[in-house]
Amino acid sequence: MAFPERFSNLPEYAFPRLRKLIDAHPPGGEPIAMTIGEPRHPMPPFVGEVMNDHLSEFSLYPPNEGAPELLAAISAWIARRYGAAVTPDRIMALNGTREGLFDACLALCPEAKGGRPAVLMPNPFYQPYAAAALSVGAEPIFVPATAATGFLPDYESLSPDILKRTALVYLCSPANPQGAVAPRAYLETLLALAETYGFTLLSDECYSEIWRTAPPTGALDVAAKLGTDPERVAVFHSLSKRSNLAGLRSGFVAGGSEAIRRFRQLRAYGGAPLPLPIQRVSARAWADEAHVDENRALYQEKFKIADEVFAGIQGYKGPEGGFFLWLPVEDGEQAALKAWKETGVRVLPGAYLAREVAGDNPGRGYIRVAMVAPKEDMRQGLRRLRDCIYR
C-alpha cells in the first residue's frame, strides 16, 4: 500500500519522545509534571453558569465562522487591547488555535511563488508550523531564535532569494519556548519586509496576556499604525492560556477580508465549528478582564519565584511573557533524564522543540519547564531542578 511521503521527515512528536526517554525509569522523588503547557490556575467562575444556560443549543448546528455575538465580543476585545478596528467579518472563531495555525497554510499559501514557496518559522518553534508547510508542498525554513538574536528569529538577515519565495512567516510572541517578546521595532521591520516581498505574517499571540511588566505589542496594533495592507498579517489568539480554558478549544484568527474569506471557505468544507454553548462561554470570556488580571498576577508571582530560585545561575534569563522557563544545560536530553531519575521532576528537552539545521539544533542545550503547577509545587520542582542540575 502506498502512503504519502510529504510527512516522512517529521520527527516523532515531543511528548511521545519524552515518554520513551524517561518512562522506563522510576522517578527519584514525588513526581512533579512541568512539561506540557496546560494551565492549572482556576478557570473563570462564570463558565459553568453560562454553559448551563445554553445547554439546549448542543442540539443545533453552530455557525461555521462563529456566532455574531462571539465575533462582536472578539472585535471589541481587539479594539480595547490593541486599539485596532477589526470588524467581525475579518474574524473567524477557531476550534483551538492549532487548527488555525495549521489551516493558514492550506488557506493562504500559493502553489508557487518564484518557485517552491517558502514558509519561514523560528527554530525552536511550535511543531504544527512545519507540518502545515509540508501539507501544501511548501519548504519549511527554520530560522534560529537563539540568545544571539534575542531569542527571536532574524528574518531580515535572510537572502533576497529566500524572501522572494516566502509566502508565509510564522512568529510567536511571547515566544514558546523562550518567553521573548517582539519589540515594536522588530514588528515594524517584519511588516515592512512583508510589504516588500509580498508575504503574510502569521502572528501566534496565544501567550499575549501573560507578561512580566508590560503588555506585549501585537501585530494588529503595529499594522494599524503603519497602514500596512491588512492582507499582510493574520493574528491568532486563544482562551487556553488567557483564561485557563485549554479544554474549551476556543480561539480565533483575525486578518484581512480576503484571508478570512478563504479561511471561512475552507472551514465550510472540512472544519469543525465550535458548539454554540462553547461559543457563548467564549464570548463572555473575551468580554471579561477581571479573571485575566487575576491569572496574570499569579504568573507574575511565579516569575519572581523562578528568579529567586535561579539567581546566580549562569545563562538564566527569566521570561518576558508566557509561562515557560528556557533553562540552559549542557545537554537537554541528559538533563531531563537526570532530573527525572534523581528528583521526579518531569521537564522537556529543548531539542524536541527544534530542528537540526547544518548540524546544529538550537534547542539541544536547553530544557523547557512549564510553570503551570500550583505555586508551592512549582517552587519545590524548581528547587529540585536547581540542586540536581546546577549544583
pLDDT at 139: 97
- Rounded Cα gap, residues 253 and 96, in angstroms: 10
Specify if 8 maps to a domain.
no
Residue where a domain terminates, one of 227, 260, 288: 288
Secondary structure of the chain as H, E, C letters = CCCCCCCCCCCCCHHHHHHHHHCCCCCCCCCEECCCCCCCCCCCCCHHHHHHHCHHHHHCCCCCCCCHHHHHHHHHHHHHHHCCCCCHHHEEEECCHHHHHHHHHHHHCCCCCCCCCEEEEEECCCCHHHHHHHHCCCEEEEEECCHHHCCCCCHHHCCHHHHHHEEEEEEECCCCCCCCCCCHHHHHHHHHHHHHHCCEEEEECCCCCCECCCCCCCHHHHHHHHCCCHHHEEEEEEHHHHCCCHHHCCEEEECCHHHHHHHHHHHHHHCCCCCHHHHHHHHHHHHCCHHHHHHHHHHHHHHHHHHHHCCCCCCCCCCCECCEEEEECCCHHHHHHHHHHHHCEECEEHHHHCCCECCECCCCCEEEEECCCCHHHHHHHHHHHHHHHCC
Specify if 179 maps to a domain.
yes
Specify if 134 maps to a domain.
yes
Specify if 7 maps to a domain.
no
Q: Could you tell me if 129 and 175 lie in one domain?
A: yes
Q: Could you tell me if 268 and 229 lie in one domain?
A: yes
Q: What is the pTM of this model?
A: 0.96
Give the residue numbers spanning the domain of 301. 14-37+292-389
Residue where a domain terminates, one of 288, 317, 339: 288
Averages of pLDDT over runs of 10 residues in the chain (391 residues) are 84 94 96 93 96 97 96 98 96 95 97 96 96 96 97 98 98 98 98 98 98 97 96 98 96 98 94 94 98 97 97 94 97 98 98 95 97 95 97 83
Q: Could you tell me if 250 and 368 lie in one domain?
A: no
- Rounded Cα gap, residues 350 and 124, in angstroms: 8
Q: Could you tell me if 84 and 206 lie in one domain?
A: yes
pLDDT at 8: 83
pLDDT at 107: 97
- CATH number, domain with residue 350: 3.90.1150.10
Q: Could you tell me if 250 and 333 lie in one domain?
A: no
**Among candidates 91, 141, 87, which has minimal Cα distance to 113?**
141
Q: Could you tell me if 118 and 89 lie in one domain?
A: yes
Q: Could you tell me if 283 and 296 lie in one domain?
A: no
pLDDT at 5: 86
Q: What is the count of structural domains for the chain? A: 2
Q: Residue 318's CB: how many other CB atoms inside 10 A?
A: 14
Q: Could you tell me if 169 and 103 lie in one domain?
A: yes
Contact 172/190 with Cβ under 8 angstroms?
A: no
Q: Residue 334's CB: how many other CB atoms inside 10 A?
A: 14
- Rounded Cα gap, residues 287 and 318, in angstroms: 30
Residue where a domain terminates, one of 253, 288, 323: 288
Specify if 9 maps to a domain.
no
Q: Could you tell me if 166 and 303 lie in one domain?
A: no
Specify if 78 maps to a domain.
yes
Q: Could you tell me if 139 and 189 lie in one domain?
A: yes
Q: Could you tell me if 299 and 243 lie in one domain?
A: no
**Among candidates 36, 33, 35, which has minimal Cα distance to 240?**
36
**Among candidates 37, 51, 67, 35, which has minimal Cα distance to 240?**
37
Q: Could you tell me if 269 and 344 lie in one domain?
A: no
- CATH number, domain with residue 53: 3.40.640.10
pLDDT at 359: 92
Specify if 42 maps to a domain.
no
Specify if 219 maps to a domain.
yes
